Chain A
Amino acid sequence: AQKITQTQPGMFVQEKEAVTLDCTYDTSDPSYGLFWYKQPSSGEMIFLIYQGSYDQQNATEGRYSLNFQKARKSANLVISASQLGDSAMYFCAMRAIQGAQKLVFGQGTRLTINP
């Protein structure tokens, strides 16, 4: 079974600062993918970034980067130069590479950017 743990229910950050959202995972699958999604108050889940378990480098997408530490089973999201529009719920999720493609989500972290 797969499990995602996000231990930060809420985070408050000043605009333009960097922020790290924590995510640890547990799985018995040899190959897996890790995802981060953003959910604004409108409710839609927006894909941010992906990391494959066998990728050699940490993933980056614009201001988002994923700090992947396989031995520690962690996949933290780093947002650089935070903006007011970054205020939202953030979910870490994973899926196995083989078999069913369902995503298993964590509980989420509510990020608030203060001006």
Chain B
Amino acid sequence: EAGVAQSPRYKIIEKRQSVAFWCNPISGHATLYWYQQILGQGPKLLIQFQNNGVVDDSQLPKDRFSAERLKGVDSTLKIQPAKLEDSAVYLCASSLVGGRVNEQFFGPGTRLTVL
């Protein structure tokens, strides 16, 4: 079974530029998550989708971050314009709906450096 795919793996941009990250979840997983992990910290949820609807985006800086999940499969996270403090690893995860454990499966992440 293929895991969660993310691209690119690394991205370096200058502040005020825009950037986009792509995520392809595990086939059949209805729920998709984007987390931001700043160096030395645990991941923090940015946005959660179930199919193509948003479940939780309370911690998404909506003035600069946006995300979409067209057709309930792939997802794109965009930052425009980027700030220095956006330097982090952006992790995508997916999970099934229901089940006792319902663990989240994570992709390899995209490491963003904003100069």
Contact = CB atoms under 8 A, between A and B. Distances in A.
The answer to whether A and B come from one shared complex is yes
Interface of A: 4, 33, 35, 37, 42-47, 50, 52, 91, 93, 100-108
B100 A52 contact: yes
13 contacts: A4-B42, A42-B108, A44-B106, A44-B109, A46-B106, A47-B105, A93-B42, A100-B55, A102-B45, A105-B42, A107-B40, A108-B41, A108-B42
Given A42-B108, A47-B103, A101 B42 contact: no
Given A100-B48, A100-B55, A105-B43, A43 B105 contact: no
Contacts of B95: 101
Nearest to B50: A101
B89 interface: yes
A43 B108 contact: yes
B21 interface: no
Interface string B81-115: 00000000101010100001111111111010000
Contacts, number: 56
Contacts of A107: 40-42
B56 interface: yes
Contacts of A102: 33, 45, 48, 56
Interface of B: 31, 33, 40-45, 48, 55-56, 89, 91, 93, 95, 100-109, 111
A43 B48 contact: no
Contact of A35 (B31, B91, B103): B103
Given A43-B111, A101-B95, 4 more contacts: A50-B101, A91-B42, A101-B55, A102-B56
